[in-house]
Structure 1
């Protein structure tokens, strides 16, 4: 597993270069953690059933509760980067 991310520095999308992170911290309520856990389970199922045709998913695209939250993306390692 690898974790990538970037700081919100107001850059244009074309200028953003994600960096590999050593640690992440989720500051979340129990409800948010359960929603994230459900999202992660669905991602795992998608990768297992669809293989490389499942590339990535955004949490906020699957659960509108997270529309105003930082982007949370799961990427299939079999798809490269």
Structure 2
């Protein structure tokens, strides 16, 4: 597993490149963590079911209330954009 992300430096995702992160910190409520855990479990199920056809999923597309949060994206390991 790699943890990668973009900085919030005003550039779009197309202009930035993934940077490997040494650590992530989630400042969240217990309810938010449970919704993130549910998203991750469902993403794992979808990834397993779809196999090589799985691309990526955004938390904000699957769980209400994360629209104004930083993008939280699950990408299948081994993808070209990984």
Fold equivalence (TM over 0.5): yes
CA contact (8 A) 2:6 2:13 kept: no
Q: Where does structure 1 differ by over 6 angstroms across 4 or more consecutive aligned residues?
A: none
| Structure 2: runs of 5+ lacking an equivalent | none
User: Which has a greater percent of helix?
Assistant: 1
Question: Partners of 2:17 and 2:46 in 1: how far apart?
Answer: 27
Query: Which runs of structure 2 are paired with 1:21-40 in the superposition (5 Å)?
Result: 21-40=21-40
State the match for 2:45 in structure 1: 45
- Gap regions ≥5 residues in structure 1: none
Name the count of aligned residue pairs. Answer: 81
**RMSD across aligned positions (CA):** 1.1
Deviations 1:34-59 (A, max 9, x none): 00000000010011111011111000
Provide the residue aligned with 2:76 in structure 1: 76
